[in-house]
Amino acid sequence: MTGRDTGPRQTPADIEAEINREQRRLAETLDQLSVQARPANIARRQVERARERGARIVDEARALVVGGGAVRVESRPVEPEEGSIVVKGDNEVVTTYQSRGQLPPEAVILAVTVGAVVAAGVVAWAVRRRR
């Protein structure tokens, strides 16, 4: 026996079976990619991202106004166990909060300025409407 003949030899049937397995795996991967690349699915993912960002901004604004001590950093759905059936709306969500420290003076000045501008706009609108 020479050094090249140390491993077991594959039969043509073994090689064909391996090729078939790889073709099935490749076909499944292509199917998954085609589902992910559908415009409707891309749009859905973008809307979900925008909602998450919007929810975070709303939470931060609420914490700023109310004076809460924590701000939501991240929320993400938990993937279900393999083989389980998930009904729409049954996703579990994990949310991470971070303690909010002292606000920088720039943020306070900005918030007060925006509030004053909005209040002045509402007053001007109400006065104009009465005339």
Q: Is residue 84 part of a domain?
A: no
Contact at 8 Å (CB) between 106 and 120?
Answer: no
Q: With a cut of 60, say whether residue 3 has pLDDT above it.
A: no
Q: Can you give the pTM of this predicted structure?
A: 0.36
Same domain, 96 and 106: no
pLDDT digits (tens, 9 = 90+) for 43-55: 888 888 888 877 7
Domain that holds residue 34: 11-79+89-100
What pLDDT is attached to residue 104?
Answer: 72
Structure tokens given for 41:
């699915």
- The lowest-confidence range among 27-31, 58-62, 113-117 is 58-62
What pLDDT is attached to residue 102?
Answer: 65
* Residues 71-80, mean pLDDT to the nearest whole number: 70
Same domain, 94 and 127: no
Q: Is residue 35 part of a domain?
A: yes
CA distance 45 to 35: 12
Q: Is residue 2 part of a domain?
A: no
* Residues 65-94, mean pLDDT to the nearest whole number: 66
Q: With a cut of 90, say whether residue 18 has pLDDT above it.
A: yes
Concatenated DSSP letters for the chain? --GGG-SPPPPHHHHHHHHHHHHHHHHHHHHHHHHHTSHHHHHHHHHHHHHHHHHHHHHHHHHHHHT-SEEEEEEEEEPPPTT----TT--EEEEEEEE--PPPHHHHHHHHHHHHHHHHHHHHHHHHHH-
| Angle subtended by helix axes 12-36 and 39-66, to nearest 10 | 50
Same domain, 20 and 66: yes
Most confident of 8-17, 52-61, 84-93, 103-112: 8-17
Same domain, 53 and 114: no
Total domain count, the chain: 2
Same domain, 71 and 118: no
The strand pair at 92-99 and 70-78 is best described as: antiparallel
What's the mean pLDDT when you consider all of the chain? 78
Q: Is residue 108 part of a domain?
A: yes
Q: Is residue 66 part of a domain?
A: yes
What pLDDT is attached to residue 64?
Answer: 64
